Amino acid sequence: MGLFQSKKKLLVGLDIGSGSVKLCELQSSGKAGSQRYRLQKLGEIPIPHDAIVDGDIMDSNAVAGAIRQVVAEQKIKAKEVAISVAGQQVMVKKVTFPLMSPAELAESVRWEAESFFPAGQGLDSYALDFSILEERPADGNMDVVLVACRKDKLEAYVSCVAQAGLRPVIVDVDVFALQNAYEANYSVSSRDEVVALVNIGSSFTNLTMLTGNRSTFWRDIAWGGNRFTDKLVEDWGVSREGAELLKQGGSAEGRTAEEVQPSLMAISDGFADELTRTVDFFRSSFKVDRLDRIVVSGGGAKTSGLLEVLGDRFRVSVERMNPFQALEVDERSVDSSRVSEIGCSAAVAVGVALRQVGDR
């Protein structure tokens, strides 16, 4: 038996983002709580700019085509995959209930969920799930996380993956996948350390607040890396492809990174404002008076100067997440330069690749 064979098979992880489709396949060894992971496959294929708009699939053929291409390039044989969703049509909420039976909890969750659906929309329009975070017999309560997603959005993603010839057996949420990737690669320094996990995608930013090893707050912010791209296109007349190079400190189409830095700084300041409002809401709602660290991931995390702006604004350590930091890399099937190139953009893909057959 090889070191990295496991009885419970990990699923192939697909991150279907607004800018690209990322694929990650892992192998695991060891028992729960002390597992090690090896990176077996890693790939990324861009999709057309308007194929997914604000998290909604507009061109299923283009997205399914990108999925088929990355699966073919990586020579993936498995058909069962894990995907995740995010955006304004996905809601995550922590609720405290009195201790009760599973049947009573299921009914209470349905009643509670009605209170946070948008006006005019009800349970019939949403897929609903929940999980117990913690039971506290001492005070007779339990903390439960509720997740709701518009059924039409969920069905669109599932259908698109099926169109590509795969079977999505788990649909996760980006904020949970982000936490999975972090926990697989980083250790908790103290029980009361407060860490903000910030994943900046093309259209949305996923925020997960951790206190020690507990996730206490989740939010999708309608602010993504496309704002940097759009600003450079508007201010400097470059193509979107050129803007992507300029964002990351390169030169393109006669423009230099130094030349366009004021445009990037303007958007970085706006993003810092938005993140500050959200973190302040978390602090006031959960009576938390500290923030120790910010860990940034996603393609937007590569934007030149952004981490420095966030560090100045929050006065804490800000770093890019390395979702491969604690993973071994199978050099026979994964190019190390590819790992470096994709880097922090793969956080969600790694997070969903940690899901196993049989998980809820």
Q: Are 296 and 208 in contact (CB under 8 A)?
A: no
Q: Crossing angle for the helix pair 60-73 and 151-163, nearest 10 degrees?
A: 50
What's the average model confidence in pLDDT over 268-278? 97
Q: Are 147 and 173 in contact (CB under 8 A)?
A: yes
Region of residue 293 (phi > 0: left; psi between -120 and 50: alpha; otherwise: beta): beta
Q: How confident is the model at residue 67 (pLDDT cuts 50, 70, 90)?
A: very high
Q: Are 113 and 200 in contact (CB under 8 A)?
A: no
Count other C-beta atoms under 10 Å from residue 193's C-beta.
15
Residue 329 has which token pair?
Answer: 């890399």
- Percentage of the chain exceeding pLDDT 70: 96
Question: Please, is 103 exposed, middle or buried when counting C-beta atoms within 10 Å of its C-beta (0-12, 13-18, 19+)?
Answer: exposed
Question: Which residue shows structure tokens 């049509």?
Answer: 89
Q: What is the DSSP letter of 9?
A: P
pTM: 0.92
Report the pLDDT value the prediction gives residue 32, as an integer from 0 to 100.
66
Whole-angstrom distance, CA of residue 205 vs CA of residue 116: 21
Report the pLDDT value the prediction gives residue 222, as an integer from 0 to 100.
92
What's the average model confidence in pLDDT over 68-94? 94
Question: What is the per-residue pLDDT across 315-328, written as a single tens digit (0 to 9) for each?
Answer: 999 999 999 999 99
Which helix H or strand E contains 85, and what residues bound it?
strand 80-85
3-state secondary structure of 285: helix
Report the pLDDT value the prediction gives residue 8, as an integer from 0 to 100.
61
Torsion angle (degrees, nearest 10) of CA 193, 339, 82, 66: 140
Q: How confident is the model at residue 29 (pLDDT cuts 50, 70, 90)?
A: confident
Whole-angstrom distance, CA of residue 265 vs CA of residue 142: 44
Report the pLDDT value the prediction gives residue 122, as an integer from 0 to 100.
75
Reduced DSSP (H G I as helix, E B as strand, rest coil) percent helix, strand, coil of the chain, to 5 = 40, 30, 30
Question: What is the per-residue pLDDT across 116-141, written as a single tens digit (0 to 9) for each?
Answer: 777 677 788 999 999 999 999 999 99
Whole-angstrom distance, CA of residue 12 vs CA of residue 10: 7
Question: Is residue 1 predicted with pLDDT exceeding 50?
Answer: no
Which helix H or strand E contains 143, and what residues bound it?
strand 141-150
Whole-angstrom distance, CA of residue 160 vs CA of residue 61: 8
Residues recorded for the chain: 360
Whole-angstrom distance, CA of residue 86 vs CA of residue 88: 7
The domains of the chain, with CATH numbers, are 1-88+151-186+325-360 (3.30.420.40), 188-321 (3.30.420.40)
Question: What is the per-residue pLDDT across 141-186, written as a single tens digit (0 to 9) for each?
Answer: 999 999 999 999 999 999 999 999 999 999 999 999 999 999 999 9
Residue 91 has which token pair?
Answer: 């809601």
Report the pLDDT value the prediction gives residue 6, as an integer from 0 to 100.
45
Report the pLDDT value the prediction gives residue 2, as an integer from 0 to 100.
39
Q: Which amino acid is at 77?
A: K
Question: What is the per-residue pLDDT across 218-256, written as a single tens digit (0 to 9) for each?
Answer: 999 999 999 999 999 999 999 999 999 999 999 999 999
- Percentage of the chain exceeding pLDDT 90: 80
Q: How confident is the model at residue 360 (pLDDT cuts 50, 70, 90)?
A: low
Question: What is the per-residue pLDDT across 295-352, written as a single tens digit (0 to 9) for each?
Answer: 999 999 999 999 999 999 999 999 999 999 999 999 999 998 999 999 999 999 999 9
